[in-house]
Amino acid sequence: MPARLHHQLEGPEDAPVLVLSNSLGTTLEMWGDQAPALAERFRLLRFDSRGHGRSEVPPGPYAIEELGRDVLALLEDLDLERVHFCGLSMGGMTGMWLAVNAPERIDRLALCSTSTHMPPAEQWHERAATVREQGMGAMADGSIERWFSPDGPAERPDAVERVRQGLLDTPAEGYAASCEAIAAHDLREQVGAITAPTLVVVGDQDPSTPPDHARFIGSRVDSARVVELERARHLLNVEHPDRVTELLIDHFEEAG
């Protein structure tokens, strides 16, 4: 059963719809740097994935398919037929599932800091168990280290602190159940079915979804263009907000 998703819809009512999907441990606020410019050009839809932010927190485990079906239910509720979609990390996994399984709903696709498969599954189950036992505080330092390059906290301290606080505020069950979704995620055989024009963006220093993960997607999706950002780790839209905004505008405005 689809989860009820907290969402925000803004921008010109007659503009193409662009959906932004958050990563594990963040909310729709992670796109705060991109939202103003994108909402000038698109009907911008942001949402908190199930188990995150102000969305419903069903008991786990979750599956990426469920996250995708949550999005389809939201589009139905809002009477939105066909959309552009951009997802980062877990949001990118959701985007790939949608582009494979509901291609009639996806016009153009952007995949940031994401992967078709993130083994070993055991590490995700261990992380889920740790969070259920110790709470979100156990994730904070390690996540920030993976998400931002060493200079990131010094260069954008307020932005990094907002991300850290958002992670700490994430419901533990929602985070753990989403880890279990990532553990089972494997679209290596299906990703080549994507026909939507696709932009793949990755940070050159990303330890979570390294550049070879992006190149794999690029090698399987005929329409894909891969862009590697320098001095960037996992949350590259926060580390390099202007560059990512520019890339997204260029990609999605090509549809016009």
- Percent of the chain past pLDDT 90, that is, above it, reads 95
Which pLDDT does position 83 carry in this prediction? Answer: 98
Which pLDDT does position 128 carry in this prediction? Answer: 98
How many whole angstroms separate alpha carbon 125 and alpha carbon 49?
A: 19
How many whole angstroms separate alpha carbon 71 and alpha carbon 92?
A: 13
Q: Is residue 55 part of a domain?
A: yes
Give the chain's domain count.
Answer: 1
Residue 155 has pLDDT above 90, yes or no: no
Q: Is residue 51 part of a domain?
A: yes
Per residue in 87-122, pLDDT (tens digit) is 999 999 999 999 999 999 999 999 999 999 999 999
Domain hosting 67: range is 7-253
Edge to edge, the sheet with strand 198-203 lists 7-10, 43-47, 17-21, 83-88, 106-112, 198-203, 225-229
Q: Is residue 177 part of a domain?
A: yes
Other beta carbons within 10 angstroms of residue 90's beta carbon come to 27
Q: Is residue 185 part of a domain?
A: yes
- What average pLDDT does this structure show over 169-183? 98
Q: Is residue 1 part of a domain?
A: no
Which pLDDT does position 158 carry in this prediction? Answer: 93
Q: Is residue 109 part of a domain?
A: yes
- What average pLDDT does this structure show over 206-212? 97
Residue 161 has pLDDT above 90, yes or no: yes
Per residue in 5-20, pLDDT (tens digit) is 999 999 999 999 999 9
- Percent of the chain past pLDDT 70, that is, above it, reads 99
CA 34 to chain centre: 14
Q: Is residue 44 part of a domain?
A: yes
- What average pLDDT does this structure show over 164-168? 96
- CATH code, domain with 185: 3.40.50.1820
Q: Is residue 2 part of a domain?
A: no
pTM over 0.95: yes
The answer to whether the beta carbons of residues 32 and 99 sit under 8 Å apart is: no
Per residue in 22-68, pLDDT (tens digit) is 999 999 999 999 999 999 999 999 999 999 999 999 999 999 999 99
DSSP code of residue 4: P
Quick one: how many helices (H) and strands (E) in the chain? 11, 7
Q: Smallest Cα–Cα separation from 2: which of 50, 52, 48?
A: 50
Which pLDDT does position 255 carry in this prediction? Answer: 60
Average pLDDT, the chain: 96
- Dihedral sign computed on CA atoms, order 58, 56, 67, 144: negative
CA 175 to chain centre: 14
